[in-house]
Amino acid sequence: MATQISPCSSSSTTFPPSSLNQDTFSSAKFFNFSTKSSSSRWVFKIHSRINPKNQFELKSSNGYPLNAISLQDGAAEMPLAKELVSREQAESNLSVTIVGASGDLAKKKIFPALFALFYEDCLPQNFTIFGYARTKMTDEELREMISRTLTCRIDKRENCGDKMEEFLGRCFYHSGQYNSEEHFAELDSKLKQKEGGKVSNRLFYLSIPPDIFVDVVRCASGKASSKNGWTRVIVEKPFGRDAESSGELTRSLKQYLAEDQIFRIDHYLGKELVENLSVLRFSNLVFEPLWSRNYIRNVQFIFSEDFGTEGRGGYFDNYGIIRDIMQNHLLQILALFAMETPVTLDAEDIRNEKVKVLRSMRQLRLEDVVIGQYKGHSKGGKTHLGYTEDPTVPNDSLTPTFAAAALFIDNARWDGVPFLMKAGKALNTRRAEIRVQFRHVPGNLYKRNFGTDLDKATNELVLRVQPDEAIYLKINNKIPGLGMRLDRSDLNLLYSTRYSKEIPDAYERLLLDAIEGERRLFIRSDELDAAWSIFTPLLKELEAKKIAPELYPYGSRGPVGAHYLAANYNVRWGDLAGDD
């Protein structure tokens, strides 16, 4: 049992910002005596996000075993819990240790995300941040390093400097080897010192290469676990290279950690529009009736980057785009997209549904995949190097930097609907989006108004995850004027025009969730297994047969093979349609 914050509220729907409760209900106690569920009500329109820290509430934050439902209910029935809140709150302490603190991810994402959470009052009152890496560094040097990447939200600049100072004052550094129990024991004693004997919760963020995951987990778990609070470990991809290595990694992790301590992060799941996907589906009447093979012709998951490995291909070359993007990010989004309605929005319910989708999917076959690799290209006097010209990449590398795949979910809802994925580096644009193409209108009265290509006249729902978050629905509309000419117009919602607030980085959300024990956006071991089992045979075959990727020029739209793959399933890629 641990204390924690709810107001900043994680992605969970569970705890209301208490300051708001008072508006709606006479007292906060109301909630605790409500026996219905642990999740209380939210007020529909809330303007203030930030809440006083002393309103933190108690919540069972511990990992639930997979059959978590009963525990959830149990938590809800503890009317006395509230009274423990203030005492526990004052006494508990959160330590976040970033293992691999000198790395790129830590500098660019993790520290800034922690600062943003701090700035928004989403971190508990007593928290400490430790950097851990092999580099020799003083606390001051760490602070110096971090401070360069901290920024305040555009819309909340006041006190920014003060807040930064305060934040940096809570950041410390400990240098040590990743496989040294001794060094972790030293870290432990430093942590203890900061914690001052209070209930201490510890979060380790492993921002390190995969080959040392297990060592670190062993040392951290053995020597630096919390004795009286929770200990959680956030792990970044890659989670293995295939079903076997992933299974092996999971087994190793589980020697030292329980399932509910492992937080496998997939930062795409923390993206605003991915979060919104379930909201769209399940809180609107107008989408769910259409959400099946009856109305949906195909679904496309598209990821593209407009840059290559740029001298940092060492890691990538060992994995390739399929493992780097498809098997995790795109597949996770697919599972969220296609899952059945979960029993509740609780993590286990949602992950149960996602696993069901993954387990209903056919293993990917070689003929349903097109791979590509970018080659050098000169444009406008500027030469872009090909992938194999990257000094960190072997000259004869066959690693795909582009892949397109057609996947199928053999369940009642989705039988026969192609789910197409496309991911690539060094393409002409940078974007991530979900496109849902609807079927033709049966017996369309307006058929003759649409030229010959009826495909162009189908409705399409686009969720643009990045950049410029937006949702739009392409509809056929009459062009105003005399006569009857139709075109496709968009019913759209562009986030930047509707919501003036800066959208938080995915890492903020995910870190906060990990702190709060909200597992919805983290990948469970069985999800990971299921995901790998879809891709592993194909990946093996590609490597065993040394399939040569189709080369495409840097900055192009990718190999044309992707179109032929789509055409096999009567699909046309929505992102290259020209009217986009």
Partner 1 sequence: MATYPPSTHCPSSSAYSNNSSLINGSNRLPQRTSFPSILRKRCRSTKLYLHQSSNGVSLSKAVHVQDGAKSMKASPVENDGPVKILKDGILSVPPVTPPEESIDIASFDFNKDKSTVSITVVGASGDLAKKKIFPALFALYYEGCLPEHFTIFGYARSKMTDAELRTMVSKTLTCRIDQRENCGEKMDQFLERCFYHPGQYDSQENFLELDKKLKEHEDRLFLKILAGRVANRLFYLSIPPNIFIDAVKCASCSASSANGWTRVIVEKPFGRDSESSAALTRSLKQYLDEDQIFRIDHYLGKELVENLSVLRFSNLIFEPLWSRQYIRNVQFIFAEDFGTEGRGGYFDNYGIIRDIMQNHLLQILALFAMETPVSLDAEDIRNEKVKVLRSMRPLRLDDVVTGQYKSHTRGGVKYPAYVDDKTVPSDSLTPTFAAAALFIDNARWDGVPFLMKAGKALHDRRAEIRVQFRHVPGNLYNKNIGTDLDLATNELVIRVQPDEAIYLKINNKVPGLGMRLDRSNLNLLYAARYSKEIPDAYERLLLDAIEGERRLFIRSDELDAAWSLFTPVLKELEDKKIVPEYYPYGSRGPVGSHYLAARYKVRWGDVGSEQ
Catalytically active residues are 329
57 versus 242: smaller Cβ distance to partner 1: 57
CA distance 113 to 130: 14
Pattern 49-68, binding to partner 1, x per CB under 8 A? x-------------------
Q: 186-245: which residues touch partner 1 (CB under 8 A)?
A: none
Which of 290, 398, 547, 551 forms a contact with partner 1 (CB under 8 A)?
A: 290
Task: Quote the least distance from Cβ 519 to partner 1, whole Å.
Answer: 15
Interaction of residue 69 with partner 1, rule CB under 8 A: no
CA distance 424 to 311: 17
Which of 2, 3, 4, 11 forms a contact with partner 1 (CB under 8 A)?
A: 11
Cis check for the bond before 238: say yes or no (omega within 30 of 0).
Answer: yes
Q: Which residue, 477, 473, 448, is CA-closest to 463? A: 473
Interaction of residue 258 with partner 1, rule CB under 8 A: no
- Tokens at residue 113, please? 């995300």
Which of 82, 293, 440, 557 forms a contact with partner 1 (CB under 8 A)?
A: 440
Pattern 307-346, binding to partner 1, x per CB under 8 A? ----------------------------------xx-xx-
Interaction of residue 272 with partner 1, rule CB under 8 A: yes
Which of 483, 544, 546, 578 forms a contact with partner 1 (CB under 8 A)?
A: 483
Which of 77, 91, 141, 275 forms a contact with partner 1 (CB under 8 A)?
A: 275
- ∠ CA 531-533-538, nearest 5°, is 110
Q: What are phi and psi of 113, to 5 degrees?
A: -65, -40
Specify the residue for token string 């080897």.
Answer: 177
381 versus 480: smaller Cβ distance to partner 1: 480
Which of 71, 280, 576, 577 forms a contact with partner 1 (CB under 8 A)?
A: 280
14 versus 97: smaller Cβ distance to partner 1: 14
Q: What are phi and psi of 413, to 5 degrees?
A: -75, -35
342 versus 559: smaller Cβ distance to partner 1: 342
Q: 339-378: which residues touch partner 1 (CB under 8 A)?
A: 341-342, 344-345
CA distance 532 to 530: 5
276 versus 428: smaller Cβ distance to partner 1: 276
Specify the residue for token string 């007593």.
Answer: 126
CA 237 to chain CA centroid, Å, is 11
Contacts of 281 (CB under 8 A, 6+ apart): 287, 288, 291
309 versus 437: smaller Cβ distance to partner 1: 437
Interaction of residue 498 with partner 1, rule CB under 8 A: yes
42 versus 569: smaller Cβ distance to partner 1: 42
Q: 510-539: which residues touch partner 1 (CB under 8 A)?
A: 512
User: In terms of DSSP H, where are the helices of 95-180?
Assistant: 104-105, 111-119, 139-147, 160-169
Interaction of residue 485 with partner 1, rule CB under 8 A: yes
Which of 258, 366, 491, 567 forms a contact with partner 1 (CB under 8 A)?
A: 491
Task: Quote the least distance from Cβ 85 to partner 1, whole Å.
Answer: 19
User: In terms of DSSP H, where are the helices of 441-553?
Assistant: 495-498, 506-516, 525-544
Stretch that binds partner 1, among 44-52, 214-222, 357-365, 421-429 (CB under 8 A): 44-52
Q: Which whole-number Å values give the CA distances from 222 to 186, 226, 310, 341, in the listed order? A: 12, 10, 39, 40
Which of 398, 503, 576, 577 forms a contact with partner 1 (CB under 8 A)?
A: 503
Interaction of residue 490 with partner 1, rule CB under 8 A: yes
Which of 469, 507, 522, 574 forms a contact with partner 1 (CB under 8 A)?
A: 469
Stretch that binds partner 1, among 178-186, 207-215, 388-396, 495-503 (CB under 8 A): 495-503
How large is the angle between the packed helices 331-338 and 272-283, nearest 10 degrees?
Answer: 10
Stretch that binds partner 1, among 90-98, 255-263, 307-315, 442-450 (CB under 8 A): 442-450
Interaction of residue 30 with partner 1, rule CB under 8 A: no
Stretch that binds partner 1, among 37-45, 231-239, 330-338, 548-556 (CB under 8 A): 37-45
State how beta strands 369-375 and 402-407 pair: antiparallel
Q: Which residue, 462, 480, 493, is CA-closest to 577? A: 462
- ∠ CA 60-61-66, nearest 5°, is 95
Q: 107-146: which residues touch partner 1 (CB under 8 A)?
A: 117, 120, 122
438 versus 569: smaller Cβ distance to partner 1: 438
Interaction of residue 476 with partner 1, rule CB under 8 A: yes
Interaction of residue 282 with partner 1, rule CB under 8 A: yes
Contacts of 222 (CB under 8 A, 6+ apart): 181, 184, 256
- Tokens at residue 41, please? 């009500």
CA distance 257 to 237: 17
As a dihedral over the C-alpha atoms of residue 109, residue 115, residue 120, residue 123, rounded to 10 degrees, the angle is: 100
- Tokens at residue 175, please? 């240098």
CA distance 447 to 452: 9
- For the chain, the distance separating the N- and C-terminal CA atoms, rounded to the nearest angstrom, is 51
Q: Which residue, 337, 276, 278, 341, is CA-closest to 302? A: 337
- Kind and range of the H or E run holding 383: strand 382-384
Which of 481, 545, 546, 578 forms a contact with partner 1 (CB under 8 A)?
A: 481
Specify the residue for token string 């991915």.
Answer: 274
Which of 279, 366, 548, 560 forms a contact with partner 1 (CB under 8 A)?
A: 279
Interaction of residue 577 with partner 1, rule CB under 8 A: no
Task: Quote the least distance from Cβ 113 to partner 1, whole Å.
Answer: 11
CA 152 to chain CA centroid, Å, is 22
Interaction of residue 22 with partner 1, rule CB under 8 A: no
Number of residues that bind partner 1 (CB under 8 A): 89
Which of 478, 548, 564, 568 forms a contact with partner 1 (CB under 8 A)?
A: 478
Interaction of residue 295 with partner 1, rule CB under 8 A: yes
